[in-house]
Amino acid sequence: MMTPAGLLQWWNLVFLLPIVLSVLLLIASAAGGLGEGGGHGDVDTHAEVEAHADVDAHADVHADAHGHPEAESAPGALSGALKFAGVGAVPISLLAQGFLLFFGVAGLAANLLLNTETDPERRVWIAFVVAVVVGVLGAAGMGALGRRFLPKPAPAIGNKDLVGRTGRVVFAVTGDEGLVQVRDAVGTLHQVPARVAPGDSAPLGSGQEILVTGYDHERGAFLVDESPFTLSADVVRRAGDKVV
């Protein structure tokens, strides 16, 4: 039976401290998540759209120009193992917390089973190996579960991805100003600046259904037109009269 005084012995402290660190990281992560309230909302979506597009384009060009031969030479088995463990899909901080927690608990349990206090200089190394193996397997298991059940981040949306989508006018759209809401292919709502296409003098009123027809880089706004899929009030009324 391990006593509180026994936990403070060096052969137990090497496993107890990772547990404490894991708990502190968990508390810090939770506090950070609660503090990230507010955000900028959908109004900043347009800026984020362009930022993502520019960053992704730069990254693609850089990768094509320089290449990463070390990534190409990575063994397929290692890549598969890392993917299974959730590396790249699950935050590294979460995997680190899982490793520290499983490492510490397994080490303390191994010390107890091996009765390490009778010969700590030798038996603690056996407990250490057991703790490392259990820590790696535990973190991999957490990563695999997280990769399957944690919500996946939405892919970066470029300007061209909203072209052809339908939406609704928030503030009246003219040739000089306007704001619309449009959902992308995965259903994410974007609130973006919009203008009527050159040559279309009729403004689009608030609440009107629209179709995104293009993007004007000079004005930094999407070009929209009245949605062809929206029936006018007169057509709806005449259809209703015929049914009656």
> At residue 236, does pLDDT exceed 50?
no
- Give the integer Cα–Cα distance in Å for 213 and 123: 71
| pLDDT value of position 219 | 83
Q: What digits encode the pLDDT tens for the residues 142-183? A: 888 877 776 655 555 667 788 989 999 998 898 888 999 999
| pLDDT value of position 70 | 46
- Among the residue ranges 27-31, 141-145, 205-209, the one predicted with the least confidence is 27-31
- Report the mean per-residue pLDDT for the chain: 74
Q: In terms of residues, how long is the chain?
A: 244
Answer with the residue of higher pLDDT: 63 or 88.
Answer: 88
Confidence of residue 89 (pLDDT cuts 50, 70, 90): low
Answer with the residue of higher pLDDT: 212 or 235.
Answer: 212
Full DSSP string of 158-225: -GGGGTT-EEEEEE-B-SS--EEEEE-TT--EEEEEEEEPTT--S-B-TT-EEEEEEEETTTTEEEEE
Confidence of residue 9 (pLDDT cuts 50, 70, 90): confident
List where CATH 2.40.50.140 sits in the chain.
Answer: 159-243
| pLDDT value of position 130 | 95
Answer with the residue of higher pLDDT: 63 or 238.
Answer: 238
Q: Is 126 helix (H, G, I), strand (E, B) or coil?
A: helix
| pLDDT value of position 8 | 81
User: 159-243 — its CATH code?
Assistant: 2.40.50.140
Q: What digits encode the pLDDT tens for the residues 211-234? A: 999 998 888 899 998 888 765 444
Confidence of residue 92 (pLDDT cuts 50, 70, 90): confident
